[in-house]
Amino acid sequence: MTVTIDTRIGWREVARVAAGETVALSRAAWARVDNASRIVARIVETGVRAYGINTGVGALSDTVVGRDHQSRLSRNIVLSHACGVGDVLAAREVRAIIAAQIANFAHGHSGVSADIIRYLAGFLEKDCVPDVPSKGSAGYLTHNAHTALVLIGEGSAQVAGQRMSGREALSAIGLSPLVLGAKEGLSLVNGTACATGLASVALARTERLLDWADAIAALTLEAAGCQMAAFDEAVLALRPSRGLGHVGATLRERLEGSGLVAAALGRRTQDALSLRAIPHAHGAARDLFDHASDVVDRELASVTDNPTVSGTPHSPIVSSQAHAVAPALAQACDNLAIALGQISAMSERRTDRLVNPLVSGLPPFLASDAGSNSGFMIAQYTAAALSNENRRLAAPASTDGGLTSALQEDFLAHPTAAANKLLNVVDNAEYILAIELMAAAQAHDFLSATAARAQGTDAIYRLVRGVVAHYDDDRPLAGDMEALRILVREDMPPVVNGGSRDDGRV
pLDDT digits (tens, 9 = 90+) for 173-232: 999 999 999 889 999 999 999 999 999 999 999 999 999 999 999 999 999 999 999 999
Residue 135: left (phi > 0), alpha (psi -120 to 50), or beta? beta
Domain boundaries, the chain: 2-190, 203-497
Q: What would the mean pLDDT of 131-138 be, rounded to a whole number?
A: 87
Q: Tens digit of pLDDT for each residue in 298-342?
A: 999 999 998 899 999 999 888 888 888 899 999 999 999 999 999
The reported pLDDT for the residue numbered 171 is 98
Of 199, 147, 192, nearest to 12 by C-alpha is: 199
Q: Which fold has domain 2-190?
A: Fumarase C; Chain B, domain 1 (1.10.275)
Q: Are strands 22-25 and 128-130 parallel, antiparallel or unpaired?
A: unpaired
Distance CA 398, CA 414 (A): 5
Residue 393: burial class (beta carbons within 10 Å; 0-12, 13-18, 19+): buried
| Continuous segment of H or E residues that includes residue 158 | strand 156-159
Q: Tens digit of pLDDT for each residue in 227-279?
A: 999 999 999 999 999 999 999 999 999 999 999 999 999 999 999 999 999 99
Q: Tens digit of pLDDT for each residue in 159-172?
A: 999 999 999 999 99
pTM attached to this predicted model = 0.94
Residue 384: burial class (beta carbons within 10 Å; 0-12, 13-18, 19+): middle
Of 72, 87, 111, 282, nearest to 190 by C-alpha is: 111
Residue type, 285: A
Q: What would the mean pLDDT of 143-154 be, rounded to a whole number?
A: 96
Residue type, 333: C
Percent of the chain past pLDDT 70, that is, above it, reads 93
151 in Cβ contact with 75 (< 8 Å): no
The reported pLDDT for the residue numbered 175 is 98
3-state SS of 333-368 is HHHHHHHHHHHHHHHHHHHHHHHCHHHHCCCHHHCC
Q: What would the mean pLDDT of 151-162 be, rounded to a whole number?
A: 96
Residue 88 backbone dihedrals phi, psi, to 5 degrees: -75, 155
Residue 500: pLDDT over 80: no
Q: What would the mean pLDDT of 103-107 be, rounded to a whole number?
A: 97
Would you give the end-to-end CA distance of the chain in angstroms?
A: 13
Of 180, 190, 106, 114, nearest to 416 by C-alpha is: 190
438 in Cβ contact with 376 (< 8 Å): yes
Q: Which long-range contacts (CB under 8 A, 24 or more apart) does 491-498 make?
A: 492/208, 492/211, 492/212, 493/211, 493/212, 493/214, 493/215, 493/216, 493/460, 493/463, 494/215, 494/459, 494/460, 494/463, 495/459, 496/253, 496/254, 496/256, 496/455, 496/456, 496/459, 497/253, 497/455, 497/456
Residue type, 135: K
Taking residue 249's Cβ as centre, other Cβ atoms within 10 Å add up to: 15
CATH number of this structure's domain 203-497, picked from the four choices 3.40.50.300, 3.40.309.10, 3.40.109.40, 1.20.200.10: 1.20.200.10
177 in Cβ contact with 170 (< 8 Å): yes
